[in-house]
Structure 1
């Protein structure tokens, strides 16, 4: 068992360079990626589920060859991500739909909200006994690699005499990661900490910095950049209200449309691409696997301003963009030919993507990206990782999970976490717990 749980105890008292042994791994982030990896590093061992069928025939045959051997111990051909065919929002061994049914709320009749999903993840951590691995209200301000020469004599001794460690450090190198930050006390004070780790996993997600359009009036109070704003406003908006403007053609925008459609809220949907554009995410998703998103794609095609369709309370404006937002809640949009239209709206949701906050890494993590001259972006420029281990190609011992590595679906998180867990266990030169 990998003692990532040690981090919790260390962060519950002020830290300094006082000679603590380096931790085997520190996971930064408390979203689905970090939770799933913590689960796999806490003694839960994945095996092939009896009578289950994987849609990839080669993987199915490979798994059936050794059903009694943990997947962590098997050599799987192809990227580990292909194993992650889990439920839509689910984590291992507790399907999201099953949990939601326990709340007596079926997905068919009542669409899950962001609050539901957050509660599910919190419940998962408690149910699986993982809370000891997490340190809440903790902010990491710096992650850097340091050598034995740059740290205290006590820490050097710990690095060299880690005989009871699960890990075999490279004899030629005693480099470790120094993780600095602070945690917030009950009184609101900030208490600093500084710890060392042999491996660090980046699982912070990408929702720290929503993308702005950069147009006039975007800072007005009725213009929002988070889906949660619609969920909070729904009690004041109804079928007779002015429509909600949704800008964007990604999955978050689709979630907003589905939520509004369920609540009978009228929607104006503006996006720059053609509906048939191959780069549009909906044209890349299997219809059978993502029926709800396929429905949104149908609405975008069949219910445009130029062609009335069967869907009430919704109209799409492909190949349009927003020019400005007015104080009178009027929004001006423009098509590709320069023709402008004005609409009175109740609120606007600009959901055109987001960027991670990697300010705690040298050069904001740009040196780790596929294109090191550009900022890290989950869609266009993710962190460059080994597809079999998710270890950063530019920094050994540093891993990236989830959207940071280009995995923008929660259902793919399990495969990435499995790859990282397998790599860490291999480094530890130990059998899985």
Structure 2
């Protein structure tokens, strides 16, 4: 998976590849599994607890889910996601999980070689994508069983590895290992190229769909380079594909505050910087406080890590502690006790009400104005006054954006509102909800957070929709 393959990356063949996938996280892995001839069918004697869905499934016994009308099957389903196909696939894989049940999937999987669609999956990291960049000891937000991919449950994989879930959740390290193992166990390795950095995508000339046809479709030219730990010199590649799938996630480009001094060397945008400073001894329990800016889960993880290392913390955020939009106010306390502990600290240990948490100071509704070279952080408080604090390190953890700089216009023209920046939560790529093909560009697909699906549990429905569409295209078989 780490070496350059002569086909299709070498560019020696004039025949374009049917599908190129950029991104090797859960979305890309799931799509590769489906395009490799692995086909879902409803078990012959399975009974789904959702009566309407069960009736629809009984109408077409023996017909693959990928050959059915996904719009029709998903109609009437409700859940924690806005994507109808994501709800459908999740309901088939985990029929009653939202009601606390542990019912087996109603799907069975068959490998049908004739359904294989040749493809390549390009990723900067090992299979699993950004999960390999997260501190392995961090615990997943979602329940461990929701992190699984088709036909290999996380709990079964962990049992064989003699690992266990923590309060029904898994560590990021275990999940990264699971995704990498999944690719191997399912025989997908030959489709994956790791260390692949895509630098440009162009829409090429049109290719006739078949001889004598009047209509045609675009070809995509993908160029970039391969980086290999054993070979420091990058190897350029160019490939051509009839269809391009974007599955890069949103962790490429950390969001910035845009304040003066944000580019100073003691200011960082990822938790790994604090871990490195601790290892190097530049930040210790005797240092000035570490400033953590943000009120999301990444900021909470940083607070927890710093507290574990007995490092003093100043925690600043612009919202009120009781803001209903704050993520802590949306998480069940029983499932996420560590995050609710941080939320309690944010409330009880503010500059207005000193509390019992020594070495921690909360600054709610404070706006960072300036970072000075002498490691001073200047804030505007809720009353309009200014405060300055000495700090040893600054972590700005306020979210991240996808990096689609390799696309024309950075991908902005593909979004729901082309006049606004691309954002997984506020302005994702505009796709057809039942094929995940771009509404702006034929042959271009987007999966996962790029299409507005932000949890592993639900990104798989996008892979199902895209695979169904691509299979129809590339095999030209009627449903």
Match of 1:332 among 354, 366, 378: 378
Instruction: Answer yes or no: is 1:81 the counterpart of 2:86.
Output: yes
Match of 1:218 among 262, 271, 279: 262
Partner of 1:10: 7
- Distance verdict in 2 for CA 1:183–1:100, change over 3 Å: same
Q: Deviations over 1:47-83 (max 9, x none)?
A: 56898987x7755775687786544344322411224
Partner of 2:23: 29
Q: Deviations over 1:239-285 (max 9, x none)?
A: 66544322112332233334445555443321112233344344455
Q: Is the 8 A contact 2:411 2:422 kept in 1?
A: yes
- Distance verdict in 2 for CA 1:36–1:267, change over 3 Å: farther
Partner of 2:133: none
Distance in 1 separating the partners of 2:24 and 2:175: 13
Partner of 1:144: 202
Deviation of residue 225 (structure 1)? 0.5
Partner of 2:221: 178
Deviation of residue 28 (structure 1)? 0.6
Distance in 1 separating the partners of 2:32 and 2:410: 25
Partner of 1:19: 14
Structure 2 matches for 1:94-243, cutoff 5 A? 94-96=152-154, 106=164, 108=166, 117-148=175-206, 160=210, 172-184=215-227, 187-235=231-279, 236=281, 242-243=288-289
Q: Deviations over 1:182-218 (max 9, x none)?
A: 3347544444433322211001122222122222332
Distance in 2 separating the partners of 1:340 and 1:333: 5
Partner of 2:448: 402
With the length of structure 1 as denominator, give the TM-score of the two structures.
Answer: 0.78
Q: More strand per residue: 1 or 2? A: 2
With the length of structure 2 as denominator, give the TM-score of the two structures.
Answer: 0.71
Structure 2 matches for 1:306-325, cutoff 5 A? 306-308=352-354, 314-325=360-371
Secondary structure of the equivalent of 2:39? Answer: coil
- Distance verdict in 2 for CA 1:189–1:317, change over 3 Å: same
Q: Could you list the runs of 5+ residues in structure 2 that have no partner in the other structure?
A: 76-83, 95-142
Q: Deviations over 1:277-307 (max 9, x none)?
A: 3443444556677665555444434443334
Partner of 1:152: none
Distance in 2 separating the partners of 1:246 and 1:256: 7
Residues 395-404 or 209-218, more deviating:
209-218
Distance in 2 separating the partners of 1:281 and 1:94: 30
Distance in 2 separating the partners of 1:230 and 1:105: 28
Q: Deviations over 1:343-390 (max 9, x none)?
A: 343422111122222122122111101111122121221111122222
Deviation of residue 25 (structure 1)? 1.0
Q: Deviations over 1:302-336 (max 9, x none)?
A: 44333455666544322112223344434333222
Match of 2:393 among 322, 342, 347: 347
Q: RMSD of the TM alignment (CA)?
A: 3.8
Distance in 2 separating the partners of 1:383 and 1:212: 22
Structure 2 matches for 1:252-263, cutoff 5 A? 252-263=298-309
